[in-house]
Structure 1
């Protein structure tokens, strides 16, 4: 186990751990049959799990330009994770939706996160795991990030 550096505060440890965990999770997701995915694609997936936005709505939600959102949607469409369809109420409007492959990628990502949490639970006791979860949740609340998690609207780091 890595020795804790007393100079690292909780926020810094959370950031470094989160970045390292993202890389491990991405590698496992790729190994499980989704080799073309990138971390940035996860932000798009989050918007498509419970919704079917237009590219403009996706851009607004991500806090990026419409061109950047269109590029991300096109990448995911080319990889087979996203489809476009005409809105039933207004055929001029095009919406984005996860394909079966996209839904599978979400399921794989959830499974590998659960597996990693299980691995962590084997290295620390349940009380420490619960305390870490409470501390990180409190930190997220303190900096105003909890609502974006609840609404699946976390934005990529700028």
Structure 2
């Protein structure tokens, strides 16, 4: 039996800015999901947030969601069905019976509100631990870097895609 060679430990301070920002974001998302689940909003996954972002402005058709998410209508329909079963999305009705429109349910909006509250709590925690100035400087730096890479418009227009 051969033993796998253990990978050397990585010091977070040695990471490039892109990886460090990615890993911070991933950990924040994990904490938010953990707290959302603990509050009774079970079954939600990170990917569901990409659907929620497009329903915050009001009802959408499955075709619209598919286009915004850059997935097939079948994939969008499957995700919507899953969210409906969990109680986060509901039918919105449509003037055209051939077009199925959905919206966030009360439970879906409550999950969004809980997520926002958890994120606000984390911001306060970061400010207490690192100082308001450091948090604002970090936010400005990351926003400037995002702009320099051409990613700001996707954020402004809520057109963030699932990682590939």
TM-score with structure 1 setting the length: 0.92
Runs of 4+ with >2 A deviation: 4-7
Match of 1:62 among 38, 44, 69: 69
Tell me what 1:141 maps to.
147
Tell me what 2:119 maps to.
113
Tell me what 1:34 maps to.
41
Tell me what 2:3 maps to.
none
Q: Is residue 86–residue 92 contact of structure 1 (8 Å, CA) maintained in 2?
A: no
SS for the counterpart of 1:86 is: coil
Tell me what 1:23 maps to.
30
Tell me what 1:124 maps to.
130
The offset of 1:86, in angstroms, is 2.8
Q: Is residue 63–residue 73 contact of structure 2 (8 Å, CA) maintained in 1?
A: yes
Q: Is residue 81–residue 99 contact of structure 1 (8 Å, CA) maintained in 2?
A: yes
Q: Is residue 53–residue 158 contact of structure 2 (8 Å, CA) maintained in 1?
A: yes
The alignment's C-alpha RMSD in Å is: 1.5
SS for the counterpart of 2:47 is: helix
Q: Which runs of 5+ in 2 are unaligned?
A: 1-10
Tell me what 2:84 maps to.
77
Give the Cα–Cα distance (whole angstroms) in 1 for the partners of residues 92 and 126 of structure 2. Answer: 41
SS for the counterpart of 1:39 is: coil
TM-score with structure 2 setting the length: 0.89
Q: Does 1:101 align with 2:107?
A: yes
Aligned residues: 155
- Higher RCO (CA 8 Å, separation ≥ 6 residues): 1
Give the Cα–Cα distance (whole angstroms) in 2 for the partners of residues 51 and 146 of structure 1. Answer: 23
